[in-house]
Amino acid sequence: MKKPTLKEKINYSIDKYFSNGLGKILGFLVILILIVTAIVSFIIVQLNISNGFINVFWDLISTTINAYMPEFDSNIPYLIIETISAIIGLLFTSFLIGSISSIIGEKLKSVRKGKIPVIENKHTIVLGFDPSSLELINQLIEAAHNSKKVIVICEEMDREVMENIIYSNISVPDNIKLICRNIDLLNPLEMELIYPQTAKNIIVNVMDDNRAVMVSLAVLAYMKDYPDSKTRIISSVSDCDHLLPESFMKPDGFMMFSSDELVSRLIAHTSTEPGLDKAYKEIIDYHGNELYVEKTEGLEGKSINDLCSEIDKAVIVGILRNEEVTLNPSYDTVIEKDDKLILLEEYKKAYELCPLRYKDIAIMEKGRTLKSHKGKLVIFGYSYKLETILKELTRECDSVVLADYGNHKDEILELIIENNDLNISFNEEDVYDDSKLNELINDAEHIIIIKDETEDSKEDDVDNILLELRIIEQKLKHNYDFNITTELQLEKTYKLAINSTSTSFIIRNNIVSMLLVQLAENRLLFKVLRELLSNEGNELYIKYPEEFNLKDSDYSISTLKQIILSYGYTLIGTIEKEQVKINHDNRYRVYIDDECAFIVMGLRG
């Protein structure tokens, strides 16, 4: 192989040096000008053309930098040298101005693209952004509760584009510092720009399962170099099959959950209990009441029955004891040292201890059992969530009719074999024929319309909205009495059907955003939701006054809490004239009539 010549080596070294950017070129030119000027000044002094090295050096530097032509005098050699210096200076000044302009342009371009470091501490990092991420940002803003918070949004997208989308749709308050960065989410070198090791939370907000897994693994790989970091990482995937192994999950480190599992359970539980969708959303949405863990200093030795009337502006949902969660503790449970209360409240430490206690209510003779909501359920559409929905509905419906399921009958038949407790049948009629649709829904108690995830575009919710509107039309025309639960993907399509007040909408992207933020702020909520949204343990129910032997009269919330607690349930909220209200003040009074119902948490019974 031919060895490179000295000239080639020098040229390569110069090219490599200059390839580092205009800053290196500028530095090189400055040093070169100083060296050349010093050599010329030394020559002038040695030839006695002019006296004083410093004076000559300064004159030449001034001539070079200012690029002015010297005045004519009798010292011809000095005049020639200064003229040459002026010409060099003209070229240097031109290049200097151009270089500075280019450097500033590069820096502005870098800033516009979002390529500069984020040197923050205890900030929240969101990895992944698209227009459907706006609800997640809204939730993060609400979670701040007027305290200062830094939110860093990262995606392979120009900073200006992200900021235009965000600020055009969200009012960002002064307490929120929102920073957008354009980085490759899979590149550890670019991830250094956002200082993950000093962040409080990292939320992997990527809807595609494969990319979500890859980004999660990239973050975990980066964080291995910072074993002492307190950063919490939360991620989600749709399909349970894409969950990382349990060995990756750490209580104070990394958590990944299946969003479809929780969303499908939410659809199943709210479809047979109209009003429960608002209660569940209240728990996982930072716009209203949410769950917090509060210390119990000074409350040791008191029973839950005592505290349910003493604690105001909050609902006692459970107890955290020795890292174990107990929901809906019995009325005679006594608070021990180091216990913590799980409270549903508007913000952390919003609860108050009432100075005035109501007298204890004696345990009353139990009324009727939970009202049966069983009946015919019609499910329109097909998705992978159908399996979980059917499992959760085992005890809720007498029969299930599947319609508009496309070419997925074979997959559904496999599910039926696994869920033989349900009486499942198929409707193969055209549901877009009004007479056939009316025949299908006329005796239904509950209707579910689920998102078809096999479609090319997950954003196409129009079919579900059109079908829901046609069902509403039949309901109003024939005065049918059934409730509808419709799954949509995006908030913007929900607004198209916002006048459908009789329908419970489950907006998948919103639910996932709420869950990501809640679990990033409070890992405990995952255990609570898993229990509330399953057929095991405690769940939310709608119960009626006669089930607690309550008759026409008015009661304070404090009294109702104790009465309902004596039956083994926790009062979460009320439904009055179709209005759902969660977490009343203790002194609020409820008039018992036919339009009144209670949202409670407890075991089935």
Dump pLDDT digits (tens) for 94-105. Answer: 666 666 666 666
Angle formed at CA 27 by CA 26 and CA 31, multiple of 5 degrees: 120
DSSP for residue 202: E
| pTM of the full structure | 0.75
For 509-547, write each residue's pLDDT tens digit.
889 999 899 888 887 778 888 888 887 889 999 999 999
Strands, E, within 224-314: which ranges? 232-237, 254-258, 290-295, 311-312
Tell me if 408 sits within 8 A of 402, measured CB to CB: no
Determine the pLDDT at residue 364: 42
DSSP letters spanning 10-43: HHHHHHHHHTT-HHHHHHHHHHHHHHHHHHHHHH
Strands, E, within 268-367: which ranges? 290-295, 311-312, 315-321, 324-327, 340-345, 352-353
Mean pLDDT per 10-residue interval, the chain, length 605 residues: 60 55 63 68 60 60 55 58 62 66 60 68 93 90 89 90 91 92 87 90 92 93 89 91 82 83 88 85 85 89 89 93 90 92 90 64 43 76 86 78 88 73 85 93 92 62 88 92 88 70 83 90 81 85 90 88 93 90 91 91 82
Residue 357 DSSP SS3: coil
Q: How far apart are the two ends of the chain, measured CA to CA in Å?
A: 87
Tell me if 542 sits within 8 A of 601, measured CB to CB: no
Query: Which of 228, 266, 235, 284 lies closest to 485 in space, CA to CA?
Result: 266
Query: Which of 362, 313, 303 lies closest to 335 in space, CA to CA?
Result: 303
User: Letter for the amino acid at 138?
Assistant: N
Determine the pLDDT at residue 365: 42
Q: Cα(585)–Cα(557) distance, rounded to whole angstroms?
A: 7
Q: Cα(415)–Cα(216) distance, rounded to whole angstroms?
A: 31
For β-strands 124-127 and 201-204, DSSP reports them as parallel
Tell me if 267 sits within 8 A of 246, measured CB to CB: no
Q: Cα(92)–Cα(61) distance, rounded to whole angstroms?
A: 11
